[in-house]
Structures are given as C-alpha cells and as structure tokens.
C-alpha cells in the first residue's frame, strides 16, 4: 500500500490535492445557500456523485501506476 502511494508522481499528487480543495470549496460555497431539506438532498446528491467520480478517477490512475 505504501509503495503504491510512493509510486504516484508529484504532478499526480498535486493534481489530486488541487481537485480535492476545489471540491471542498465548492461544497462549502453551495451548502451556504441551503434553505430547505430538499435543497440539502439535491445538492448533497450532486456532490456525492461528483466526489465519487473524482475518487474513482484517482483510483484508476493509482491502479494504472501500480501495473499488473
């Protein structure tokens, strides 16, 4: 596990960090405008899908690096 993490290049790590910060900032910004439970559910679902997509992308990059 540690070897896989170390095998990521600095660029990949930097890119993942930047994307994570962007998602966090967008999440905080959008959730400030929530007024009803419906808003929470809709916006929460959208961000859940976005973050899941982000992590699946990161996982696929990670597996590509480790190789067969």
pLDDT digits (tens, 9 = 90+) for 10-58: 777 777 788 888 888 887 887 787 888 898 888 888 888 888 887 888 7
Distance CA 57, CA 17 (A): 13
Q: Is 31 inside a domain boundary?
A: yes
Q: Is 37 inside a domain boundary?
A: yes
Q: Is 4 inside a domain boundary?
A: no
Tell me the whole-structure pTM to 2 decimals: 0.51
Nearest Cα to 52, choosing from 25, 30, 23, 26?
A: 23
Q: Is 13 inside a domain boundary?
A: no
Q: Look up residue 60 and give its two tokens.
A: 């696929």
Q: Is 42 inside a domain boundary?
A: yes
Distance CA 26, CA 42 (A): 15
Angle at 62 between CA 45 and CA 21, to 5 degrees: 45
Q: Is 8 inside a domain boundary?
A: no
Look at the chain and report how many structural domains it folds into. 1
Q: Is 6 inside a domain boundary?
A: no
User: Domain range holding 23?
Assistant: 19-66
Which residues lie below 8 Å from residue 50, measured CB to CB, with a gap of 6+?
A: 23
């Amino acid at each position: 596990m540690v070897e896989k993490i170390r095998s990521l290049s600095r660029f990949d790590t930097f890119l993942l960090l930047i994307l994570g910060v962007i998602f966090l900032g967008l999440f905080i910004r959008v959730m400030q405008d929530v007024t009803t439970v419906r808003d929470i559910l809709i916006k929460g679902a959208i961000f859940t899908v976005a973050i899941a997509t982000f992590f699946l992308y990161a996982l696929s990059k990670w597996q590509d690096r480790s190789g067969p």
